[in-house]
Chains A and B, each alone.
Chain A
Amino acid sequence: MSDTALAAKQAKAKELLDEHTRQTVRWHFSDETGCPFWLEKKRELKFDPLREVNCFEDLKKFPNFEDEWLRGGPIRRWVPKGLADKPVYVFETGGTTGIPKSRMVIEDHWIDYENFSDTLPDEHFPRGSNWLMLGPSGPRRLRLAVEHLAQYRGGICFCVDLDPRWVVKLLKKGDISGVKAYADHVIDQAVTILSAGHDIKCAFATPKLLEALALKLIDKGSSIEESGIKGIFAGGTEFTPQWYRFCREELLGPNVYITPTYGNTLMGLACGKPFDPADNFKITYYAPQPRAVIETVEFKDYNQVVPYGSTGRVKLYTMTKELFVPGFMERDEGERELPHDKYPWDGISGTRPFHEFAATTTVGVY
């Protein structure tokens, strides 16, 4: 694609983002449609969001979103009045000890994964085929979202029981054999599902669980490919270029497709740039704009985007009718990447735990 054509796409995407920002802010801060939390917060703001937010950049007038606000109830304070009559889900994050952070969801997880579905190549994720969900269960967004993705594509999703909070507890106790036993328990469930004649062709898995499943199948004289899986999207824990290469070259082989994703309960799902040998296994993610935006910002100034190629902390924005997050500092860092033809807005590569937190964070428990 020529630079001019890409520039035009970028400009259009920017226009769309600005318009989406105006609509979202209007929805969340109008007395008729907004949620109690933001309507209450509006009184503390030194500006009027309804009049003074006219483009995406204006979101920087808001203070950073504090995820601590999500801890504890009442959860209904997050339900927009405009959606008050809808059935509500609650998804949790954290919570090994103490009160977890909760996100209220109505249909966002469906919409996000329907949009994500459009990015999946049908030849590797055949429509109508069944799925394996090899990730966390319980009050997690991912479990229901992947199940919806399978249903949206005409399939049925088979899940495992996996409680990440228990794994964190074992890790904190230093019970390595307990962690190993629990991982074996999870992988045994997956192997059983794959061996039960359910015609599973697609899967979601975290990198660690996919690795464990592939090795288990190798030990049984089989492989991911022989089990019938053709396409995998992976995420949920750190996904490094070395692992990506190892996975493609040694774990899966040339006939199984894998695509990396990046996301969380607040934002939804960022897609990986399609594999290109020229990228040398660099993984670049693009947020599902305009519903969510990722910025790579200076460590010392969270309102300042770093130059392309430079390292910064991940800042997330979520702008759906259900949730408004005007800038949340994620616990990750990475490098700012140029827009891409398929995703004509900024991307991020090399995501990894934010260096100031890395030493104290328990990463990749599942």
Chain B
Amino acid sequence: MLEIPVIRWGQPYESMEKDKIVHFETGEAVATVNNANAGLIKMDMRKQGKARDILRQFSVEQLCSMAEKAADLYLNATLPLGNGTQNPQEFCRMQSATTGLPEHMCAGNMKKNAYVLRNMRHTLEALTRGLPFEILTKGYGMESRGVMVSYQAQTNVLGMVLPSNSPGVHTLWMPVIPLQIGLVLKPGPQEPWTPYRIYEAFAQAGVPREVFCIYPGGPECGAAVLETCNRAMIFGGLPTVERYHGNPRVQAHGPGFSKFLLGDDMVDQWEKYIDLMADSIFVNSGRSCISCSGIWASRHTEEIAEALAKRLGPVAPLPMSDPKSPLAAFTVPGAAKAINAQIEDLVKAPGATEVTAKYRNGDRHVAHERYDFLRPTIVHCSSTEPPIANTEYMFPFCSVVKCPQNEMLKKIGTTLVASCLTKDPKWSQELLDATNIDRLNIGEVKTIQLHWMQPHEGNIIDFLFRARAFQNTQPPSH
């Protein structure tokens, strides 16, 4: 059996406490994972300064080259993992087996992660707005336009409390090593695969192992990571986001409530955009915070909902190894049942209508002994009043909401990605000015089509570094 150790500044550590991670369909153990304890993390973090010192022995350029090399290793190589090895096919099989994500989606996420690693230099150039990388290393420097700038790292390490359900989130922490900041990863209980494989790929590409910690374990480990890292990210639901709101040390990533907004000037051609909308709802089994959970328009909402329902309603689960497998499984007992019951309750509200049922030929909830599926669901809301109008679930789910254009921005609430179809300059400006939208697409862009040279939920450079004053000569007299 594959046994995966705790990694303490690059050193494997065998714990007294181990968890078995199991195949969601059979319950058969896939690997044994050693668990850290909070005190051990707190003890290790006393040495976090060393990680940045070690990484600053390399230039950012050199580390970007290592990231490029790591991309290929991650995507193609057979890499060591604990007491065994893992090739890319095994990686996808194991990730699918423990998370319930179909294998071809796991492969798709690998490509996405590899893309970010391979294009690290361009990504950092974009995120730093062309800042000479040396300034990040030294802390200050002169820009080509003759302006002294200083960027001070706010932490020696970035802590990541990672989820189990969405392997796509790993792109967020990949730039950290090239930025000469150490990585402290607390993997999701069912998804240790990506952190360990990327760690190994970085190490084989030449990044010293001593700048990585990986701490599988219970919630106390996540709390210890958040407590001891000056900058950390955590993934969770709305309560998690609310708990860390306003805490400059913690970036909490939660539901996205990502949406399509159709302007009055283009909504009459809605049929042209059905593919964009359907893909935004459906790709990656609707599991991501960038998956579309709301389509808002002032008219034609009934027809839009009907067309989407006709397209997505018949979609049913297939085996995980099927290259067309469309739906991820729910592997947490009771979760799908509870979500299904909640939807059933919410669609009883006046103005809410489930449109998919007649195309589904079966129930939304497909229950198995150890896991479940929820089949795609499109709900029409005749106004913004029904509570289901602004909801997000971890499967292909979308509310198509009728709302006048001039009320939309007030009523959509916080929206991670808004893909807006309009050419109206006035409304475009209002969209640009709306602070409740994080990533804004104006044009024919799916909500899930992220350009990695753009910041995601805040610029990681701003999160890890602080622009501050630095002078080594007197200023001009005045």
Which A residues lie at the B interface, using CB under 8 A?
174, 176, 180, 211, 215, 218-219, 240-247, 250-251, 280-281
Say yes or no: is B147 at the interface (Cβ < 8 Å to chain A).
no
Check A251 against B39 for contact (C-beta < 8 Å).
yes
Known interface pairs A176-B223, A176-B243. Does A242 touch B42 (Cβ–Cβ under 8 Å)? Answer: no
Complex contact B40–A246 (CB within 8 A): yes
B46 neighbours in A (Cβ, 8 Å): 215, 218-219
* Chain B contact residues: helix, strand, loop or mixed: helix
8 nearest CB pairs, A to B = A242-B16, A241-B16, A211-B39, A242-B17, A242-B37, A246-B40, A281-B16, A242-B15
Interface of chain A: mostly helix, strand, loop or mixed: helix
Q: A176-B223, A180-B227, A241-B17 are in contact. List 7 more A-B contacts (CB 8 A).
A: A174-B243, A215-B46, A242-B15, A242-B37, A243-B37, A244-B16, A250-B43
**B242, closest chain A residue (CB):** A174
Q: Which residues of chain A are within 8 angstroms of B39 by Cβ–Cβ distance?
A: 211, 215, 243, 246-247, 250-251
**B212-260 contacts to A (CB < 8 Å):** 223, 227, 239, 243
8 contacts between A and B (CB under 8 A): A211-B42, A215-B42, A240-B16, A241-B16, A243-B37, A246-B40, A250-B39, A250-B40
Which residues 26-78 in B have Cβ within 8 Å of A in the complex?
Answer: 35, 37-40, 42-43, 46
Q: Which residues of the partner chain B approach A246 to less than 8 Å between Cβ atoms? A: 37, 39-40, 43
Task: State how many angstroms separate the Cβ of A355 from the closest Cβ of chain B.
Answer: 14
Q: Are A245 and B16 in contact (CB under 8 A)?
A: yes
Compute how far the CA of A215 lies from the CA of B15 in the bound complex, rounded to whole angstroms: 20
- With a cutoff of 8 Å between Cβ atoms, the chain A residues found around residue B243 in the complex are 174, 176
Q: For the complex, what is the distance from the CA of A227 to the CA of B40, rounded to whole Å?
A: 21
In the bound complex, how far is the Cα of B16 from the Cα of A126, in angstroms? Answer: 31
A240 CB contact (under 8 Å) in B37, B42, B239: B37
Contacts of B43 in A (CB 8 A): 215, 218, 246, 250-251
Q: A211 — which chain B residues lie within 8 A by C-beta? A: 38-39, 42
Closest to B223 in A: A176
Nearest to A250 among chain B residues (CB) is: B43
* List of B residues within 8 angstroms of A241 by Cβ: 16-17
B residues in contact with A219, CB < 8 Å = 46
Q: Give the Cβ gap from A351 to chain B, nearest Cβ, in Å.
A: 14
Minimum CB distance partner of B15 in chain A: A242
Given that A215-B39, A215-B42, A251-B39 are known contacts, is A240 also in contact with B17, CB under 8 Å in the complex? yes
Smallest Cβ-Cβ distance to A177: which chain B residue: B247
> With A and B bound together, what is the CA distance between A245 and B16 in angstroms?
8
- Contact B227–A280 (Cβ < 8 Å): no
In the complex, which residues of chain A have a beta carbon less than 8 angstroms from the beta carbon of B239?
Answer: 174
Interface centre among A218, A219, A242, A251 (most CB of B within 10 A): A242
Least CB separation from A207: chain B residue: B39
Report the separation of the CA atoms of residues A219 and B227 in the bound assembly, to the nearest whole angstrom: 15
Q: How far is the CB of A365 from chain B (nearest CB, A)?
A: 13
Expressed in whole angstroms, the Cα–Cα distance for A280 and B16 within the complex equals 8
Closest chain B CB from A250 CB (angstroms)? 6
Interfacial chain B residues near A244, Cβ < 8 Å: 16
Which residues of the other chain, A, contact B227 by a CB distance below 8 angstroms? 180
Q: How many Å lie between the Cα of A218 and that of B45 in the bound state?
A: 12
Bound Cα distance from A242 to B43, whole angstroms: 14
Q: Which one of B37, B39, B46, B243 has the highest number of Cβ atoms from chain A below 10 Å of its Cβ?
A: B39
User: In the complex, which residues of chain A have a beta carbon less than 8 angstroms from the beta carbon of B223?
Assistant: 176
Cα separation A250 to B16 with both chains bound (whole Å): 14
Q: Which residue of A lies closest to B239 (CB)?
A: A174
Task: Give chain A residues whose Cβ lies under 8 Å from the Cβ of B40.
Answer: 246, 250
Which residues of B239-297 are within 8 A (CB) of A? 239, 243
Chain B: which residue is nearest A282 at the CB level? B16
Give CA–CA (A180, B249) in the complex, Å.
15
